[in-house]
Amino acid sequence: MRRDLYDQTHEDFRAAFRAFVAAEIVPHHDRWEQAGRVDREMFRKAGDNGFLGMAVPAEYGGLGAQDFRFNAIIGEELQRAGVIGSGMCLTLHNDVALPYFMEATTPEQRRRWLPGMVTGEHMAAISMTEPGCGSDLAALRTRARRDGEHYVVDGAKTFVTNGLNADLVIVAVRTDPTERHRGISLLVVEEPTPGFTRGRHLDKIGLRSQDTAELFFEGARVPADNLIGGEGNGFTVLMRNLAQERLGLCVSAISAARTALRHTVDYCAQREVFGTRVLDLQNTRFTLAELGAKVDAIQVFVDRLIALHLEGELTGEDAAKGKLLTTALQQEVIREGLQLHGGYGFMREYPIARAYLDAPIQSIFGGTNEIMREIVARTLETSYGSKAPS
């Protein structure tokens, strides 16, 4: 289906980024998958080519392009090339971490951090999840005690994307132990900081080239000037930025579904059984036709969510609906595609097998899909009942 979301400027950006992926990511992806992390040189080259911090104002070295469509193109093209694991350092940096540095910081902090985030000198991460504390952010236990011009941080974080490579880590901490939501603050921990160490390089089943780590804080002294958003406002800032994070996951998931569908159609068109192409078997045609219809329909919904975000009207509830639908479809398309590949679908040399391993996390990170259902369920009466607008 024709999409009306992008204009020629966006398509020129797509062509440039597609060429970058082909030259700087695809040739190294298998090596990075084995190593469990990408080379920082690729990240710096992304900065050199204008693919980092596109929304950063020109005064801090960016393009001033506060247009999420550029972010969406990066997510789409990484999935199209089958290298989302190696490229997630870019999407995490642009989609998830950057808004905190732009919206919750002082002018002095922006002057300190944003130029390096544009050039690739600084890779960013955000550290919320703790061992034994997943989606319930208000229950986090990492403490930050004010001591003169520093906060002294003690605690542990896990499942930190970019956890090994990042130079700037936004850490959710508890600054007031007597409060739940209002006791949370955000500190930017820079490398090196005494008392801040990186733990295990976590061994994942999929997205292996995307480095994921544990982080530990033992009396880590973080300058008070690295507090962002104001003390006690961390939970509010986190919630404000989750909608864009989940929108990025929607883009990635629907793009992964379309890519898996393409691989499956191409395979079935060249594979024969009993003298007949697999694509000419009615069961295959009906299965793929239904999946194609779902992909096109949900793509329209995702494009509408992007348009709402551009207008400043994307709600957390709609972002949750998008994440719920797209990640479920991604896994359905990949599961059916693997089945239609037969035994070859179980071989890692085939893209569908690698997609099968990468897909499950999509319904977990950014808030599990069980949490997405709860968010949507809270709006049942006002969205679908007699109280809903006619």
Task: List active site positions.
Answer: 245
According to DSSP, the residues that pair with 168 across neighbouring strands are: 124, 190
Rounded CA separation 304/252 (Å): 15
Rounded CA separation 32/201 (Å): 14
Rounded CA separation 245/93 (Å): 11
Which phi-psi region, left, alpha or beta, contains residue 113 (left: φ > 0; alpha: ψ -120 to 50)?
alpha
Q: Which residues contact 240 (CB under 8 A, 6 or more apart)?
A: 103
Rounded CA separation 80/18 (Å): 9
Query: Distance of alpha carbon 295 from its chain centroid, rounded?
Result: 20
**CB-facing half-sphere around the CA of 22: CA atoms within 13 A:** 6
What DSSP element (H or E) covers 174? strand 168-174
Rounded CA separation 87/147 (Å): 39
Rounded CA separation 160/155 (Å): 14
Which phi-psi region, left, alpha or beta, contains residue 192 (left: φ > 0; alpha: ψ -120 to 50)?
beta
Residue 360: asked if its preceding bond is cis (omega within 30°), the reply is no
Residue 288 in contact with residue 213, Cβ under 8 Å? no
Q: Nearest 5°: CA angle at 176, between 174 and 181?
A: 70
Residue 259 in contact with residue 355, Cβ under 8 Å? yes
| 212 closest CA partner among 193, 195, 194, 198 | 198
In this structure, the chain runs to a length of: 390
Using DSSP's 3-state secondary structure scheme, residue 130 falls into strand
Q: How many of the other CB atoms lie within 10 Å of CB of 221? A: 16
Q: Which residues contact 386 (CB under 8 A, 6 or more apart)?
A: none
